[in-house]
Structure 1
Amino acid sequence: MDLMLEGRRCLVTGVSAGIGAAIAEGLAREGAIVVATARREDKLEQWADAMQAQGLRRPLIVAGDITDARQVGRIACQAAQLAGPIEVLVNCAGGSRPVTLEAGEDAWDEAMALNFTAGRRLAEQVLPGMREAGWGRIINITGLMEPHFLNAALAAKAALHLWAKGLSRDLAKEGITINSIAPGRIESEQVRRLYPESERAAFIERYIPVGYFGVPGDLACLAVFLASPLARYITGTLIPVDGGMSHKGA
């Protein structure tokens, strides 16, 4: 199936590893022009080299910290300078932030900055170009809606869900779709740290009907489809990619 992404200009955050890297690769394989951003420039360069070695168009690199409001503007500006006006934004950067009742304001501020505010600010930077063109895609990689302990990141991701839903309705008639994807247990540095091999079998038996943890490509294929013109009638959604995981206690 031709997803009609050839030449589409895409900005993807959190590309140094995991889900972000898989989504960016998926877009590149469809012929999109990918601008990849993350804090670790060395990791970005290594990943871009690997994409080029596979015969793909080398992704463009803009390193920066999206939790810094000043850098968000710079990243968006540089992305547009390198590729042209951004047509697809994938907000993938984020990270779990378990907290206690005693956690200070700094912990909550950092979690909100990374998991909600950065995505909102980037969208605000690229939306003028999308509105002028009458076409655009925003895809947010979010988190569980039923946490079993206090996690500042999940509170921030819940804010991202509802922000995206409201904005999707405001922009629907302008050819711009906004959707969110909630990952389950997808292999990553974070998941490997939180779920050692010795504990996985029991967790999977109890919570994941398909019988295994996912890999980044399981989610990337959906994100790439949502980025395409073919997904024009899908907006304001929250789609879990979790192997049918039961969220009770998960």
Structure 2
Amino acid sequence: MDLKLQGHRALVTGASSGIGAGIARVLAEEGARLVMTATNRQRLEGVAQEIVAAGHADPVLLTADITDAQAVNELAEQARSALGGIDILVNAAGSSRPTDTQADDAFWEEAIELNFSSARRLTQALLPDMRTRKWGRIINISGTMEPRSINAASAAKAALHVWAKGLSCDVAAEGITVNCVAPGRINSAQILNRLHPTEENRQDFIARNIPAGTFGEPEDMGYMTAFLASPLAWYITGAVIPVDGGMHYFAH
């Protein structure tokens, strides 16, 4: 299926590894023009080299600390200037922040800045142009709403879901969709090194909780994101769509 993304302009945050990199690769395969951003320039360059080696256009690379409000505004302006505008925003940056009952304000604030506020600010910076053009796609990579212990990122992702739902209602009549994609267990450094560090642990979790019988790949998140970014997905907005191989809710 042709997703009709040829020439559309996309900004992907957290694009240097894991889910963000997988999304960038799929969007490039579909013909989108890319701005990729992360804090690690070397890893960004590695992903960009993979994209070019596969025969796709060379992405624009921008490094930015998206937990800094001023840096977000500068990133938005640089991305607009690089491609002449942004049609598709993929807020993929984020990271788990497990904690205990005594975490201080600084810990919570950093988790919220990274996992919620950065997406909100970047959306607010790019939304006016989308409204002027009467077309836009905002896709947020979110997370579970079934935490089994305290995780500051989970609270931030809950805010992301509710904010995105409200925003989707405000801009739907203007040709702009806003959706969230919730990953299950996707093969990435965060999952493989921190959450499931041994093969035995992975296989045990899969056997008990994932009907598909395996963890997903970053590109699996990319396929769903690319569809939601497509003109074909114009009637899907305000949704939270899991990509998790049927993982049981209690397993989160």
CA distance in 1, matches of 2:205, 2:45: 36
Shift of 1:157: 0.3
Partner in structure 2 of residue 172 of structure 1:
172
3-state SS of 1:5 partner: coil
Is residue 25–residue 219 contact of structure 2 (8 Å, CA) maintained in 1? no
Moved over 3 A (4+): none
Change beyond 3 A, Cα 1:49–1:201:
closer
Residue from 211, 215, 218 that aligns with 2:217: 215
CA distance in 2, matches of 1:248, 1:143: 14
Partner in structure 2 of residue 27 of structure 1:
27
Which amino acid in structure 1 is aligned with residue 68 of structure 2? D
Residue from 200, 203, 225 that aligns with 1:201: 203
TM-score, length of structure 1 as denominator length = 0.98
CA deviation string 1:8-49 (max 9, x = no partner): 010000000111011111111111110000000111112212
3-state SS of 2:48 partner: helix
CA deviation string 1:61-109 (max 9, x = no partner): 1111100111001111100110111100000000000011111001100
Which amino acid in structure 2 is aligned with residue 167 of structure 1? L
CA distance in 2, matches of 1:134, 1:218: 29
CA distance in 1, matches of 2:41, 2:35: 13
Which amino acid in structure 2 is aligned with residue 93 of structure 1? A
RMSD: 0.8
Identical amino acids, percent of aligned pairs: 54
Is residue 26–residue 222 contact of structure 2 (8 Å, CA) maintained in 1? yes
Partner in structure 2 of residue 181 of structure 1:
181
Partner in structure 2 of residue 244 of structure 1:
246
- Match runs of 1:125-164 below 5 Å: 125-164=125-164
Partner in structure 2 of residue 71 of structure 1:
71
CA distance in 2, matches of 1:198, 1:49: 33
Structure 2 gap segments, 5+ residues each: none
Shift of 1:205: 1.4
CA distance in 2, matches of 1:85, 1:51: 21
CA distance in 1, matches of 2:242, 2:215: 14
Residue 235 of structure 2 corresponds to residue 233 of structure 1: yes
Which amino acid in structure 1 is aligned with residue 126 of structure 2? V
Matched positions, count: 250
Which amino acid in structure 2 is aligned with residue 224 of structure 1? A
Shift of 1:249: 4.4
Structure 1 gap segments, 5+ residues each: none
Which amino acid in structure 1 is aligned with residue 205 of structure 2? F
Shift of 1:52: 1.2
CA distance in 1, matches of 2:4, 2:247: 32
- Match runs of 1:98-113 below 5 Å: 98-113=98-113
